Amino acid sequence: MARHLADAGYEIVTVLNRSPLPTDLNASVVTSAAEVARMSEIVITMLPDTPDVERVLLGQNGVLEGTSAGKLVIDMSSISPIDTAEFAAKFRQAGTGYLDAPVSGGEVGAKAASLTIMVGGPASEFERALPIFQKLGKNINLIGETNGAGQTCKIANQIIVALNIEAVAEALVFASKAGCDPAKVRAALMGGFASSRVLEVHGERMIARTFAPGFRIRLHQKDLNLALESARALGVALPGTATVQQLMNACSARTGGADADHSSLVKALEFLSAHELSNGKE
């Protein structure tokens, strides 16, 4: 994503974090998030969880320490809508704009600049950020002018994706244990009303047993936790989401399970059914 912005002519300033920067990115590396904010007109964060965002934005040497009036913070993490609104309020007190803009599309979408971007915040700030978003994604929507609206939409996205993965896993395990070739069942279903991107991509992963992470179980667990916490606050029933979260918990309990791709949810259903897709006919 940073490379797409650099290729578009944006000057990149970053803090050196877990992995070295690509040599062709030509970014300026500084020692703190506060320094990034001092040197930048727009600051973009994309981190695993709410506490990570809070630390980088509001912690010691965080973005808030280096920001000033007229700047804009865009958080593209997938985190709590409630905390997002609180973070935004602190930046607005400093005269800094704030957008929550979580994404969907995974590593493939990031590399292809085809991400779906769900934005919460004032329309004027959205318009300011739109040229940046257009370098990163294709389906870009202002969900609402209140901070947290983008995060709420992302939670809805993760509910749908999780339940679709669970449905595909159930269907393939069912068909396989009944004696059908799951690959042929998947191919047939791709031509009907059951067709979906999850069936296409994750159904193939389940059958081929390719669970190297595109999106890790532990990150989807975090998103479903956010969904269930928000549902309790709103008084909304999410029974399917709660069930899938328990299946993910079961996968995560296995050694290495938390860092496997979320399509590995099928393993929990295979265990409950005493049948693995790769076993073929029984």
Tens of pLDDT, residues 248-264: 999 999 989 999 999 99
**CA–CA distance, 128 with 124 (Å, rounded to integer):** 6
Name the band, by pLDDT with cuts 50, 70 and 90, for residue 15.
confident
Mode of pairing for the β-strands spanning 28-30 and 72-75:
unpaired
To the nearest whole number, what is the mean pLDDT of the chain? 94
> Burial letters for 103-140: b for 16+ Cβ neighbours within 10 Å, e otherwise?
bbbbeebbeebebbbbbbbbeebbebbeebbebbbeeb
Name the band, by pLDDT with cuts 50, 70 and 90, for residue 18.
low
Tens of pLDDT, residues 31-70: 999 999 999 999 999 999 999 999 999 999 999 999 999 9
Give the pLDDT confidence score for residue 192 in this predicted structure: 95
Give the pLDDT confidence score for residue 280 in this predicted structure: 45
Residue among 204, 207, 220, 203 nearest 260 (CA): 220
- Cα Rg of the chain, angstroms: 21
Give the pLDDT confidence score for residue 17 in this predicted structure: 64
Beta strand ranges found along 69-211 (DSSP E):
72-75, 97-100, 103-104, 115-120, 137-144
- Counting DSSP H helices and E strands in the chain, the numbers are 13, 8
Question: Could you tell me the two tokens for 40?
Answer: 């930048």
Give the pLDDT confidence score for residue 27 in this predicted structure: 87
Mode of pairing for the β-strands spanning 28-30 and 13-15:
parallel
Looking at residue 189, its amino acid is L
Torsion of CA 131, 115, 239, 168, to 10 degrees: 160
| Mean pLDDT, range 156-163, rounded to an integer | 96
Contact, 72 vs 96, CB < 8 A?
yes
Is 279 a residue whose pLDDT tops 60? no
Give the pLDDT confidence score for residue 20 in this predicted structure: 73
Contact, 119 vs 140, CB < 8 A?
yes
Is 129 a residue whose pLDDT tops 70? yes
| Mean pLDDT, range 63-86, rounded to an integer | 97
**177 flagged as catalytic:** no
Name the band, by pLDDT with cuts 50, 70 and 90, for residue 22.
confident
Looking at residue 99, its amino acid is L
Name the band, by pLDDT with cuts 50, 70 and 90, for residue 282.
very low
Task: Report the predicted TM-score, pTM, of the whole model to 2 decimal places.
Answer: 0.90
The one catalytic residue among 71, 154, 177, 267: 154
Name the band, by pLDDT with cuts 50, 70 and 90, for residue 281.
very low
**CA–CA distance, 83 with 89 (Å, rounded to integer):** 10
What are the chain's domains? Answer: 2-145 (3.40.50.720), 152-279 (1.10.1040.10)
Contact, 218 vs 258, CB < 8 A?
yes
**60-64, 85-89, 235-239, 275-279: the lowest-pLDDT one:** 275-279
**CA–CA distance, 89 with 104 (Å, rounded to integer):** 25
